[in-house]
Amino acid sequence: MKFDTPAGTNPIDQLKVIGQPLDRIDGPRKTTGTATYAHEWHDAFPKPAYGYVVGAGIGKGRIASMDLTAAEHAPGVLAIVTAANAGPLVKGDFNTAKLLGGPDIQHYHQAVAVVVAETFEQARAAAQLVRVQYNRGGGAYDLHKAKAGAQVPKEPKPDSAVGDFDGAFAKAPVTIDETYTTPDQSHAMMEPHASIAAWEGDKLTVWTANQMINWGRGDVAKTLGIPRENVRLISPYIGGGFGGKLFVRCDAVLAALGARACGRPVKIALPRPLMANNTTHRPATIQRIRMGATRDGKITAIGHESWSGDLPGGGPENAIQQTRLLYAGANRMTRTRLAVLDLPEGNAMRAPGEAPGLMALEIAMDEMAEKLGLDPVEFRILNDTQVDPEDPKRPFSQRQLNECLRQGAQRFGWSQRPKAPGERRDGRWLVGMGVAAGFRNNLTMKSAARVRLDRTGLVTVETDMTDIGTGTYTIIAQTAAEMMGVPIDRVVVRLGDSSFPVSAGSGGQWGANSSTAGVYAACQKLRQAIATKLGFNAEEATFADGRIQVGGRDIPLAQAGEGGDVVAEDVMEFGDLGKKYQQSTFAAHFAEVGVDIATGESRVRRMLAVCAAGRILNPKQARSQVIGAMTMGIGAALSEELVVDKRLGFFVNHDLAGYEVPVHADVPHQEVIFLDEADPMSSPMKAKGVGELGICGVSAAIANAIHNATGIRVREYPITLDKLLAKLPVLA
């Protein structure tokens, strides 16, 4: 099925099942411990062996020698795989560095060996006996020092220009010109990168924690040099990903190599330090924002430049992309520059681009509002646009940012916000409120599914779509139930297996809308097949209450399954509506923060998100995604930072003791409101996505609240107490 015209009325619009706040159908399995995560396939095969990865002890250089003698003779050791004995390996399409390094080392903790033994403890102990001598090379580990040599990245159109930014900025009566920085950040998901690999002849099966099954299957095959059809990836449950599991990492490839070497299935789970230094992270940014406005508050010039770094061949953090679309202004400029850094690979983390970009832009908007003497909410509303600012002939499909801001201000009690910073006290706490806009583009991806009706009336859906804890099982079941007219408990959903039809996968906020659209397409074909088998006109048929009806005829749906299952498979492909209409999601984030006047400690007291993100397929699950994202926004604002050892090139605080994420005591009351919206330009589901929108703008709202509380403007994240303490008011 091709989606190339706006969606009209269709079975999804009944909203009998879709749009309802149903509990997760996978909840019982997760709460009883029967949901099988990547490292937990205990009964899939007898006597698995265990692998332990040895990571490089330098940031850049070359292995001079590797002595495996002691490790090979350690108790329980079955095999040790290195680049010297692994056979030919090819770098995958989605990795910047090789997953098994040697002799050249590209970054700290790049895998250089895997030790396979009978038990995990034996593998870990033997790995400590591997002796590696290095010739250390000079590496670049400091973005600020590398900034001067940053280049235009190779990606298409990294820069944009409309009108005369320089001229308009020079003439503007009110201007700001500030620089903001965001640090390297870790995904820090609870489940580590983990895989089990088993060979059966020349066929490989990998049970792995991976968000994008089809991408992963292709990269495993390419890396190992085996036919794609000989690789099967299985990933039905994932314990958090946030973009860190979009791509195959060394655990999957080394498990496969280890299993081939020892002739047994091999389990590998990366320890926490390798999750930070071996896998991907959100790269640091330096962002310069210049803005000019008339005295009545209309933006006339806006320029946003961003610098980030990555390994050779890597890509930038696209922190400027929201600035191209979020506010009006005739004269515009964005620039992206990429420096070469020899740190571990920088790549996608929840809302890549917009999350760090809005951390800067939305502080800049507050700074300009303050200069103009305007309320920050009203300043944003004043500069709204209903068309693409770079192409005014291209309208937004829907844009309710102003309504988000207005409803949020009313609900949050914005009128009680102190007009001047530092005015409100609550005992020892200085209290302030902040606001920020949230923005994330709506992305769609081709997605397929297979649907089956059996003689009992049970509907089974199969697709390689993954569930990273976001509720994919449930919304896919809701889609099939709505389309086929059956209760949700008569739908079985099977996910995360490369033997199923290829889906969109989980990432980029495209997963829910795209994957359910694929199920919609398959169900449309199944409806046609059932109607034809029973002698109905499919266009006139009604599917409801487990029955199919036309005119006076009313037949149980299960009757179509007698004599054999009815099976349909289809793929949803998306046309060019995304080019004709700018499709985006919007939010308004509000935060109230208290800052201890004596210590500089910041505490978020309450938060509100108002979201406009198309049809919400399951409000209960969507709320969970947004409050989780808001919690990550607290961390990004106040504590999260991978600290770089700029001499040796590694992240020092590479575990959950040193990398500080919010805990329960840090998270206040959180409220989420979804505006009533259905976008017919997006898909037959008329949905978009909220999983990444929920973090976009949160950190800036907290930063702006801290300024309102204290009068201190911090432009360097995270906003730790040392950046406030010296500037706090003197105690009486």
* Residue positions annotated with a catalytic role: 692
* Chain-centre distance for alpha carbon 497: 21
Contacts of 405 (CB under 8 A, 6+ apart): 377, 380, 381, 435, 437, 588, 610
CB atoms inside a 10 Å sphere around CB 726: 8
Element (DSSP H or E) covering residue 393 = strand 391-395
Dist. CA 214–CA 159, nearest whole Å: 31
Residues near 60 by beta carbon (within 8 Å), at least 6 away in sequence: 105, 106, 107, 136, 137, 138, 139, 342, 649
285 neighbors 179 (Cβ within 8 angstroms): no
Are the beta carbons of 589 and 652 closer than 8 angstroms? no
Token digits for 570?
């289809």
For strands 194-200 and 266-269, give the pairing.
antiparallel
Cα angle for residues 61, 67, 70 (degrees, 5° grid): 145
User: Which residue blocks in 172-269 are alpha helix, DSSP H?
Assistant: 213-224, 250-262
Burial of 664 (0-12, 13-18, 19+ CB in 10 A): exposed
Amino acid at position 671, single letter:
E
Peptide bond into 718 cis (omega under 30): yes
The CA dihedral of 269, 273, 279, 282, to the nearest 10 degrees, is 140
- Residues 357, 353: Cα–Cα separation, whole Å: 6
Q: Which two tokens stand for residue 342?
A: 């020899």
Q: Angle 472-484/511-534 helices, nearest 10 degrees?
A: 30
Rounded Cα gap, residues 119 and 484, in angstroms: 48
